[in-house]
């Protein structure tokens, strides 16, 4: 990709890891000076950095921050730290890797954030652009660090952006930007929920077109000037004026009232995923890409990312969904609500693991009103069981949970693995948990 020149500065990279290494590689290739500091005694990637720029890794010393023109802060480090704040007050600029990318990038950018669903939408948008005959470069908070995309050839850049990345980004000018939704998260990094919301909404600041979720006022935005366009998406049942809508009653995704796809044509499962498809199609339209047959066929066949409301199989009329990525209560509540329009009260929930001290009470109403049975395993299974004792059975492990769910299910039911808990009490990670679930279902 053709790149614009960035200013020559003496920079300090804070935090090594994947992002810090990407910044170091980028600055090294430009022959610009830099050092790296990390709070860890043995920073991941230090061996590669030593080969790339010998002696560049220094011990963390906030008093030396003011010796640099610019701090390039990795997303895992809070810019509210006292030493970073003091440097900023002394005139040192504070940015992140996305800001460096924005200063050099020449391709049109589609920017996506949100508390839930942003990885799926980002990946889907990339797949749809490629299906259209154009080339998408996908990265940011998913997969490839944004700076590495500058080395590739493509037509569009699709970026997933976290709130941490957005708070150090000022120059990005997306052709389309969206906040899919906002729910409480990362409050250990923010002084208030509103501060987190504001960080998400900053994605709109210099966007040509802003796609807002009409059903989530935390994603709402008022254009700063007449050149910015607003596109609204949401559920048609809420009686709002929408550009893109998921019409549950008529089972369709619509654009300006015209049916684009039937919901039963989608491989992706759940109303929340139908909304993800609608948003992805909206982003393509805003980018000027026609929704031809190849694009719509890809939208129908797209299977989603592993462990996120992923269809594992249908056995004897029973649908099995792997939502192992649901490691908190909010994600599980969202999954249950999403599948309720399709399955009604015929949902068997498999849940449990390490709740990390979280308040489980918000799950209680969904279980009582929608779920017909709960099967629990893992460290905090007893706490989940207390939410609805009459509906709940305790088992020792995931294999037993799948076997019991299979015994209790009937044609037309949904067996949903959506744990509401972390996996580390019994698994290496949520991926291993989801893979074991899939293997158990396959063996039925």
Residues annotated catalytic, as ranges: 118, 141, 186
Which of these, 309, 250, 249, 324, lies nearest to 276 by C-alpha position? 309
Question: What ranges in 90-184 are assigned the alpha helix state H?
Answer: 97-104, 118-131, 146-149, 163-166
- Per-residue exposure over 327-359, b if at least 16 CB sit within 10 Å of its own CB, e if not: bbbbbbbbbbebbbbbbeebbbbbbbbbbeebe
Which of these, 61, 66, 56, 51, lies nearest to 32 by C-alpha position? 56
Tokens of 14: 């804070």
Report how far residue 53's alpha carbon sits from residue 57's, in angstroms, rounded to the nearest whole number: 8
Report how far residue 123's alpha carbon sits from residue 77's, in angstroms, rounded to the nearest whole number: 26
The secondary structure of 342-390 as a DSSP string is HHTT-EEEEE-SB-TT---GGGHHHHHHTEEEEEE-STTHHHHHTTSGG
Question: How do 244-247 and 93-95 pair as beta strands?
Answer: unpaired
Residue 299: CA atoms inside 13 Å, Cβ hemisphere, count? Answer: 29
């Amino acid at each position: 990709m053709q790149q614009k020149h960035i200013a020559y500065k003496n920079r300090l990279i804070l935090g090594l890891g994947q992002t810090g290494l990407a910044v170091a590689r980028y600055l090294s290739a430009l022959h610009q000076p830099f050092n790296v500091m990390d709070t860890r005694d043995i920073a991941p990637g230090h061996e590669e950095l030593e080969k790339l720029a010998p002696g560049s890794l220094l011990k963390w010393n906030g008093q030396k921050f003011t010796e640099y023109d610019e701090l390039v802060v990795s997303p895992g480090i809070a810019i509210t730290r006292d030493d970073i704040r003091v440097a900023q007050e002394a005139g040192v600029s504070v940015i992140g890797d996305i800001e460096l990318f924005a200063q050099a990038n020449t391709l049109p950018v589609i920017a996506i954030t949100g508390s839930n669903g942003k990885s799926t939408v980002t990946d889907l948008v990339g797949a749809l652009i490629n299906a259209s005959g154009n080339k998408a470069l996908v990265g940011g908070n998913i997969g490839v660090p944004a700076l590495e995309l500058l080395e590739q050839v493509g037509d569009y850049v699709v970026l997933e952006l976290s709130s941490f990345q957005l708070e150090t980004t000022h120059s990005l000018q997306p052709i389309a930007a969206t906040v899919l939704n906002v729910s409480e998260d990362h409050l250990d990094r923010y002084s208030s929920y509103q501060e987190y919301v504001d960080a998400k909404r900053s994605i709109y600041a210099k966007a040509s077109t802003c796609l807002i979720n009409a059903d989530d006022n935390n994603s709402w935005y008022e254009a700063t000037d007449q050149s910015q366009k607003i596109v609204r998406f949401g559920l048609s049942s809420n009686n709002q004026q929408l550009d893109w809508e998921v019409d549950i009653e008529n089972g369709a995704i619509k654009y300006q009232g015209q049916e684009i796809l039937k919901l039963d044509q989608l491989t992706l499962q759940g109303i929340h995923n139908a909304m993800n498809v609608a948003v992805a199609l909206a982003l393509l339209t805003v980018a000027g890409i026609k929704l031809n047959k190849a694009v719509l066929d890809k939208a129908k066949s797209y299977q989603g990312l592993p462990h996120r409301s992923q269809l594992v199989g249908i056995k004897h009329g029973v649908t099995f969904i792997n939502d192992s990525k649901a490691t908190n209560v909010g994600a599980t509540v969202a999954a249950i609500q999403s599948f309720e329009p399709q399955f009604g009260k015929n949902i068997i929930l498999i849940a449990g693991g390490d709740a990390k001290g979280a308040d489980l009470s918000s799950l209680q109403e969904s279980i009582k009103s929608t779920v017909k049975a709960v099967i629990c395993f893992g460290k905090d299974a007893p706490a989940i069981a207390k939410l609805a004792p009459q509906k709940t059975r305790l088992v020792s492990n995931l294999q037993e949970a799948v076997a019991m769910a299979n015994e209790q299910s009937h044609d037309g039911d949904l067996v949903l693995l959506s744990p509401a808990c972390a996996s580390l009490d019994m698994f290496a990670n949520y991926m291993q948990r989801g893979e074991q679930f899939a293997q158990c279902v396959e063996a039925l």
